[in-house]
Amino acid sequence: MSEIIRTIITTEDGSPSLYDPQLGETYHSRHGAIQESTHVFIQAGLDHRQTHSLRALTVLEIGFGTGLNAALAIQHALDKEYPLHLASIEKYPLTAEEQTAFLAHSNEHIRPALQKVLEAPWGQDTSINTLIQLTKIQGDATVVQLPACDVLFLDAFAPAVCPELWTPEMMVKYADCLRLGGILVTYSAKGEVRRAMEAAGLQTERLAGPPGKREMLRATKISTP
């Protein structure tokens, strides 16, 4: 396989993201990486579920990428002091050089949590503190068995670029691993994505998207098959 050369970009809220020239894709919205992650995954996903939950939460992320969503999720659990287990799957982890560059460009508020998630080893459970655990899984999300979760961050590249993570079959796989009452959140609001979620038995909502994006999707598991 040819070498992957990804470059750091600065998004409009000042936070960094990565650009993959081979795919022509950025890892986050150019309108603001932290802004998008916070809006879609933390507020509409984790915070929404945590507010309605009395127990420990398990989050599963599809696409660990730069670790930004993971770091923001851990920061959320640290701030609100609740038990969290975060599992995140990645097929093409960043190189050590890319991690160092991404950290160096990140602001000091998120850097400590980001450093923890980037330095955590793959393939084992890492305790962030007594309440919070992180499991980074290196592998292909279409192949690995997905752990049961309460919140699923579907943060794959866009369906046009990475269609295998958005198929109706994958939506069934995502729905199967969600616990009853669990939610899937994603930045995509495409009609075919929403229809695949509905066909997998999930109840979908179109929510206001982050800056630069009119809508996003949240899907809830309201019954078991």
Give the footprint of ligand SAM on this chain (CB under 6 A).
27, 37, 63, 65-66, 68-69, 89-92, 140-142, 155-157, 162, 165
Nearer to ligand SAM by C-beta: 29 or 50?
29
Q: What angle separates helix 111-119 from helix 96-105, to the nearest 10 degrees?
A: 170
Nearer to ligand SAM by C-beta: 142 or 203?
142
Least distance in angstroms from the C-beta of 17 to ligand SAM = 7
Least distance in angstroms from the C-beta of 62 to ligand SAM = 6
What CA dihedral angle connects 202, 165, 132 and 176, to 10 degrees?
40
CB of 183 within 8 A of CB of 220? Answer: yes
Least distance in angstroms from the C-beta of 81 to ligand SAM = 23
Q: Phi first, then psi: what are they for 127, rounded to 5°?
A: -85, 125
Q: 16-20 and 25-26 as β-strands: parallel, antiparallel, unpaired?
A: antiparallel
Nearer to ligand SAM by C-beta: 107 or 142?
142
Least distance in angstroms from the C-beta of 105 to ligand SAM = 13
Cα distance between residue 179 and residue 149, in whole Å? 6
Least distance in angstroms from the C-beta of 194 to ligand SAM = 19
CB of 205 within 8 A of CB of 25? Answer: no
Query: Which residue in the shown chain puts its C-beta closest to ligand SAM?
Result: 65
Task: Name, in order, each residue with C-beta under 8 angstroms of 79's C-beta and a sequence gap of 6 or more.
Answer: none
Nearer to ligand SAM by C-beta: 98 or 150?
98
Nearer to ligand SAM by C-beta: 84 or 156?
156
